[in-house]
Amino acid sequence: MSISIAYINPFLTAAKKVCGISMNLPVMLGKPRLAEAGERLWKQYQISAVVHMANAVNGVVLVSFSDRVAIALASRFAGETIGAVNADCRDALGELANNIVGCAKAELPTELVTISTPKIIDTRDFELPAGKPVIILPFESSVGRFIVQVAIESVQEKLAEQLKPAASNAA
């Protein structure tokens, strides 16, 4: 099972665009990679914004931060100093994630994607869905590194895979 690049590139572009425009914070994409089976990154990235996607694609997108980077980004996004991962920090991170995902949605290859409102979570309390490839997109900035984890699959591609055995048996 694979994830089409048409569903990955919008998240790359959106993270760069939102950070650049909303916070005047240039970000550089590191080397994207597939997560290893069972890999958990919560020790490095303690707080995440999770967004669920449904319909044309199913899965989740996680925007994950260390506490230090979360506070720095939230402060910059809110335009005021936030001293800890508190309600204000979580609200600002939720808005930041909402902007990234909303910007990405506009560039997805189909309009038939439903995206949930971002929810801020402790990364250790969340497990990515099993059976879906996870692409890790690391971003570097002057305030530190954050990652976007994309664990989605195209419903059409999954349907096609499921129908292949039935089609070959019918022949």
Instruction: Please give the domain boundaries of the chain with CATH numbers for all domains.
Output: 5-170 (3.40.1550.10)
pLDDT tens, per residue, the chain with 171 residues: 556 777 788 888 999 999 999 999 999 999 999 998 878 888 999 999 999 988 888 889 899 999 999 999 999 999 999 999 999 999 999 999 889 888 988 888 777 888 888 899 999 999 888 888 899 999 999 999 999 998 888 776 655 566 666 555 555
- Residue 96 burial by Cβ neighbours in a 10 Å radius (0-12, 13-18, 19+): buried
The dihedral formed by the CA atoms of 94, 99, 104 and 106, expressed in degrees to the nearest 10: 130
CA distance 144 to 69: 6
